[in-house]
Structure 1
Amino acid sequence: MKKKLLIYTLVLLMLISSTAAGLTGCSAARESADSVGSAFVSKLVSRDYAGAFDYVYVLTSDVNTREEFAARFTNIYDALEISDVKLVSRSVEPVSDNEYELKYSLALTSKLLGVLTYEYSADIVAGPQGYTVLYTPSLILPQLSEGDKVRSTTQTGARGEIFSADGAVLAKNDYADSVYIDLEKGPDIEEVKSFLSQNFAADTEKIQKKYDNAVEKGYPLEVLLSYPKGTITDEQKEAIAGINGLGFDNSRFSPVRYYPLKDDAAHIIGYLGSPSEEQLAANEDLSEYSTVGKSGLEMQYEDILRGSDGRIIYIEDEKGNLKQILFEDEKTDGQNIELSINSKTQERAYTLMASNLVDGQSGAVIVMDYTTGAVETMVSYPSFDNNLFNFPLEEETWNYYNDDEDNPLYNRAIQSAYMPGSSFKPFSSLPAIEAGLLDADSVPPITKKQPHSEGNESGSYSWTPDVEGWHSGAIFSKTVAESPYNYEMAMKSSDNIFFAYYALQAGVDPFKSYMEKIGIGEAPQFELPVTASSMLSQSEDEVDWLDWLARTGYGTGELVITPLQLACMYTAIENGGTMVNPHIVNRTFTIEGEDETETTIEETSPSAFKEGTMSQKAIDIIRPALKRVMVDGTGYEAHLGDRNVLGKTGTAQVGANNSREVNWIVALNEDDGKLYLVVVETDTDEGTVPKTSILRGLVDETAYSEMLTGVENSGKAAQEE
């Protein structure tokens, strides 16, 4: 009020003499004041703020020029998204001989706030050129006083984080390791460039540009280099501290998505990157500076993880205090995700793969609750450090990640459709079992040739089907069942001839129908994309169906399936014939308030992929056979002792001239309710394949610890040599 009185006094003292001479009567003065007030308000209604400046007298620090006057109105109204201004009422009334009061009401249509009807008042005083409206900030909004500012601030919605079932953070909002320059300490930029070039291989031109930009804009600090969290060593930090003006930070300056498990879980979690042109076109909230999920759950759950930004428009007084909130669109943080993954077994599985496989070998591991389908572990090897994708990749790293042979970015657990080999025999035998052609005591009436007998130079047993239309020659098996030649002994020895015989007995059409019944040709439901299994890779018109039938009977031919789907299929043996859908997300949830209250938004329930895939009769035949495999059959080398484990191994040669070999082992551990699957791809005849060692390390913690000790000792010995 004191300020307002002072302004009025100054105006009147400065202008009183010319005012008295220029006025010819009360009526004329009123008419002149009324026309000025009317013209001023008309300019406001038409949003011609530069024109409205012609009718005002300004004695405040808020504006000094026509441009500043117009800009202040425009900026505030644009912030409130005022699209229309309508006059509701207007009047001019005398206050004294030389002063009038302008009162008017405007209806402002705001896209944010609807229709705002404000009551305004302004003083009209006499000046050298006649009457003028005395400007105050309240003519823009009645709430504004001199020195007030209208602020518009974006509130960033935080991206949801990803957690393991045991509470470990798998994707975290964090900060990168950063090297920054403090300009207030007067650093020598040449010394800084030389140091960063020698110790961090930094580009000196880029360092100079960042420095120049900070100087030009008056920034006190500027981040010069950023690296994945945990990259900069203690020695490097000490060296940085020795250069005047340089500093290290990992908690304030460079926000980044941090993945603590790195390679161990990279295919599951994925990484972030810049949005594609398609994403930019589809989502107006994204810009070229945004980051979005590019692979894994980061991509599949982008809409759930991504927060939405909010905005607050408020009046701030001259001291910087919040005076009044005009509009608030609260930000919304993204939802968090809890996975079924156990971080410790995930790390163990990756370590087992990395320590047992050599260059040129690859594969996958899955550990799953066979009752619920909850995936506890899913590893694809080789892998990659997803933290690196927060930064520009060096050419060498990019080339390695995109190598056609190793292809570390490829998730072999769900994308690679492999030939299952003998691991498929429990399912290829189902058509014959369910048709009553095969039971536990069935013995096929066939004659097998011994190794190295006439016409058999491969060192394998052979049998040529006596079936009308058969043109494919002999079927070979490296081993055959011991007496009695029944289902259990054939499964134990993984006898190809036995299973080819009963597939042929089932017949092509019944066999095909049963394969469709158990999901071949589809993929189970899962939170990440799964490649569908397939029975054929060519047109049906080109298929030799009898040959296809026999080879599919022992898991080769054209049959391919992902590790995850094969794991899903084995759950039927423990669930009365129901194959459960695998899942890796337990729930989505929010964390709110100072007490960090968790609220579950959506929870995953077990679901079935296929029901009625095998009768109890079939299960009763299959179970003891798979038990025998692990006791003294092809799975014995896993050395799982007296654990109650059912399992099956498998081998299939693939590629040009059968140059590659896919090696499987699947185990159902009834002691812990878990399914374990290991698949390893190697060169053919590469020697001992470590699939059973990996399985043993997964199931047996003691064995795992011994393996780690052995690896560490080997490493020390190599260093000593």
Structure 2
Amino acid sequence: MKKSSNSFNNKKNSKKVWLVPLIVILVIIVGVGGYFLYSNWQANQEAQRRQSLAEELSQSYLDALADNDMTEFVTLLSEESISEAPYTREEIGERYETIFSGIGAGNIDNMEYELVLDEETDQYKFSYTLAMDTSLGRLEDLKYQTTFSEVEDEMFVDWDTSLIFPDMEEGDTVKLSYDEGERGSINDRNGNMLAGNGSAWEAGLLPGALGEGDVRNEQLSNISENFGLEVSSLEELLEQSWVTDESFVPIKVVDEENRPELSGVVYRQTESRMYPLGEAAAHLTGYVGEVTAEDIESNPTLQSGDTVGKAGLEAAFDERLRGTKGGQIYIETEAGETKKVLVESEKQDGENIRLTIDMGLQQEMYDQLQGDPGSAVVMAPDSGELLVATSSPSYDPQLFIEGISNEQYQSYTENEDSPFLARFAQRYAPGSTFKILTSMIGLDLGVTTPDKTHTIEGLEWQPEDNSFGDHKITRVSDAVTEVDLQAAITYSDNIYFAMEALEMGENEFVEKLSQFPFGANMNLPFSMQPAQISNDGTLSRPTLLADTAYGQGELLMSPIHQISFYSAVVNEGAMTFPKLELEEEGEANQLSPVTAESAKLIKEDLITAVQDTNGTAHAFSKLPFTVGAKTGTAEISEDGENVTNGFVYAFDAEDNDFTFLGFLEGQSSGDVVDRFLPVLSDLKATE
């Protein structure tokens, strides 16, 4: 029994002997494995951290370039790389800004990048591509490469000059040489220049001849007085970095007759934008001027010193007129040799634009306005071509080219008659000329007929149902009691047309009016609000319905709207949209809001109204050809007083050569007839 017990104990001890080393080995294995696993985990964490830093730096770097944010950009550059460059951190940012603004760089995009960790150096290699617009065209597929440096758990871009443009080295510069595309001209229908390039005299300062101290101050004061420029403005011009004692410092374009001999001032001939019609076409042509910072921000291809349209058609057609520059953007070595051409293009001159305007008629109609507030519009009714669109008072666009003085500009802005206002495109109550539309609509609806009469007594009227309250309709003459359509047009009877509109009713009248382009854009290259029937498009009040019928109420139409809408009466019911740009081919843009039968009848009534001695436009019967016409005097309330605006619509009833819309602010329609009668005969030979 004892032997057996010892044997068991021996076996038990034997197991203990090999179990202990096994446990030790297992502990060592687990410990070593855990260490390696932990080390590997740490390494992965560090790699992920570095990769994340590199990705973040890449994106921040490219974003700063895209946003042209050089303040942010330079903070991303490594200190070591900057210490090796001949620039400070701020100077690097300034160099980018100078180069990029100089070449008109913008829209920096198409950014693709690649990050690769170099196992030998344990550094990230950063490769990326860019594209950008410049003043000479698009720069594509610019390929860059650099490395990232790490300092205390932060990462930075290693910078050198090749990161401005590939292949650039220290000492290289970016140069721009270009030929300016000539600005196109704006011509009339016969090819006569309304706005274009010509030669002029330019006054400039000769700094070395101004003297010093009190002498210099006196000379500048004298120059300031003669040219209407502030002394401070002259000082700013003289302080430009390129100015030397021998420099010609331009100050103003002047007339040949206005070249006073002044110490420190010299003159030279230069190219200038010219406006031969001056005030007569200013609201059409507008003028050009030097680009502003805002212009460049919205269009980075523009550069300081460029010329752009500032008003009128010069602004509306600016892209077509301006053309494009040609030239090269290139890298030049310190020795003055061209290392690499980045982009080059041929210059393209701007487009010459031909208008429908007749230069001679434009001047004649403007002169006839005699400086009074008003406008004159002439249109070929079959094509919609505007032969005249002039407004008074006006301004001289040449002054903005020569350098308008504060006093001159102030005289315009403080003028109560608003010389900058293009009255041919401003909306007014049209007055009785609108009866042309009311008549045709009434005939189309069957409410109005040639034989139908209204018995009207006295100069005032309102319905018997008291729907008008205290409101009354008035007429200018009570010579006729039994008023038919012809008499209503001849005598311009407001009461007749109010009665007719009330019979038509709001729904029918508004529906027919809406077949004309009320609320629509006329697609002309200048600002003009749409014509409106009323403020809310309805005529729900009886008084508003009645007043609208004879051109009052809340009705608003510009002279151009009127001449276009009324063209239906001479085109057998087809209304022609106006156009200002002359096309070699192309049909007129028309719609047919009324029937040919109604249009023909009203056309004959308008001819009769001129021939009738009682007609408001009878004076036009003196013309050597047959004319139809309708006058209109609209009353408006200004500062508690009633003011009248006079209109007249007239057309050639023989050959349909022209339609005419004359307008004088604050005057009667009779004044308008008398004013334009002497020149209407000249319209006949235009077509």
Name the TM-score, length of structure 2 as normaliser.
0.68
Distance 1:219 1:340, change over 3 A: farther
Identity of aligned residues (%): 25
Measured against aligned partners, the alpha-carbon deviations of 1:268-323 in whole angstroms (never above 9, x if no partner) come to: 11123465776544322235654433321122222222323333157999999999
Instruction: Supply the distance in 2 between the matched residues of 1:695 and 1:518 (Cα, whole angstroms).
Output: 28
Pair 1:690-2:671 in alignment: yes
Distance 1:502 1:181, change over 3 A: closer
Equivalenced residue count is 549
Distance 1:109 1:320, change over 3 A: same
Which of 236, 249, 253 is 2:268 aligned to?
249
CA contact (8 A) 1:481 1:492 kept: no
- In the alignment, which residue of structure 1 is the partner of 2:186? 162
Pair 1:626-2:610 in alignment: no
Which of 635, 646, 649 is 2:617 aligned to?
635
Q: Which region of structure 1 is more displaced relative to structure 2, 151-160 or 558-567?
A: 151-160
Instruction: Supply the distance in 1 between the matched residues of 2:343 and 2:481 (Cα, whole angstroms).
Output: 84
1:364 positional shift: 1.0
Cα RMSD after superposing both structures? 4.6
Amino acid at match of 1:673: D
1:575 positional shift: 1.9
- In the alignment, which residue of structure 2 is the partner of 1:648? 630
- In the alignment, which residue of structure 1 is the partner of 2:501? 503
Distance 1:463 1:176, change over 3 A: same
Amino acid at match of 2:660: Y
Distance 1:186 1:689, change over 3 A: same
| 1:559-708 matches, cutoff 5 A | 559-587=555-583, 605-609=586-590, 611-632=591-612, 633-656=615-638, 657-669=640-652, 670-671=654-655, 673-682=657-666, 690-701=671-682
CA contact (8 A) 1:428 1:555 kept: no
Distance 1:187 1:251, change over 3 A: farther
Distance 1:331 1:476, change over 3 A: same
Instruction: Supply the distance in 1 between the matched residues of 2:625 and 2:457 (Cα, whole angstroms).
Output: 37
Distance 1:278 1:464, change over 3 A: same
Measured against aligned partners, the alpha-carbon deviations of 1:506-551 in whole angstroms (never above 9, x if no partner) come to: 11210111111123333433222322112223696xx762212221
- In the alignment, which residue of structure 1 is the partner of 2:383? 372
Structure 1: 5+ residue stretches without partners:
1-47, 55-64, 85-106, 117-139, 142-147, 451-460, 588-602, 705-721
1:441 positional shift: 2.1
Distance 1:499 1:153, change over 3 A: same
- In the alignment, which residue of structure 1 is the partner of 2:457? 449
- In the alignment, which residue of structure 2 is the partner of 1:309? 325
Amino acid at match of 1:283: N
1:205 positional shift: 5.8
Instruction: Supply the distance in 2 between the matched residues of 1:194 and 1:524 (Cα, whole angstroms).
Output: 50
| 1:128-527 matches, cutoff 5 A | 152-174=176-198, 176-181=200-205, 190=216, 193=220, 196=223, 199-200=226-227, 203=230, 207=234, 210=237, 217-218=243-244, 220-227=246-253, 229-230=254-255, 232-233=256-257, 236-237=259-260, 239=261, 246-251=265-270, 256-273=272-289, 279-287=295-303, 289-313=305-329, 327-354=343-370, 357=372, 362-390=373-401, 393-403=404-414, 405-414=416-425, 416-444=426-454, 446=455, 448-450=456-458, 461-466=459-464, 469-472=467-470, 474-480=472-478, 482=480, 485-527=483-525
Measured against aligned partners, the alpha-carbon deviations of 1:629-680 in whole angstroms (never above 9, x if no partner) come to: 2223111224543412111101111023452101010111144611111011
CA contact (8 A) 1:697 1:703 kept: no
Distance 1:667 1:390, change over 3 A: same
Instruction: Supply the distance in 1 between the matched residues of 2:477 and 2:486 (Cα, whole angstroms).
Output: 14
Amino acid at match of 1:664: F
Instruction: Supply the distance in 2 between the matched residues of 1:302 and 1:284 (Cα, whole angstroms).
Output: 15
Amino acid at match of 1:691: V
Amino acid at match of 1:408: P
SS in 1 for 2:423: coil
Distance 1:281 1:201, change over 3 A: closer
SS in 1 for 2:328: strand
SS in 2 for 1:586: coil
Instruction: Supply the distance in 2 between the matched residues of 1:504 and 1:108 (Cα, whole angstroms).
Output: 75
Q: Which region of structure 1 is more displaced relative to structure 2, 365-374 or 282-291?
A: 282-291
Instruction: Supply the distance in 2 between the matched residues of 1:432 and 1:194 (Cα, whole angstroms).
Output: 70
Instruction: Supply the distance in 2 between the matched residues of 1:439 and 1:275 (Cα, whole angstroms).
Output: 60
Instruction: Supply the distance in 1 between the matched residues of 2:302 and 2:322 (Cα, whole angstroms).
Output: 11
Distance 1:110 1:351, change over 3 A: same
Amino acid at match of 1:699: L
Name the TM-score, length of structure 1 as normaliser.
0.65
Instruction: Supply the distance in 2 between the matched residues of 1:198 and 1:493 (Cα, whole angstroms).
Output: 58
CA contact (8 A) 1:480 1:494 kept: no
Instruction: Supply the distance in 1 between the matched residues of 2:360 and 2:439 (Cα, whole angstroms).
Output: 37
Distance 1:393 1:644, change over 3 A: same
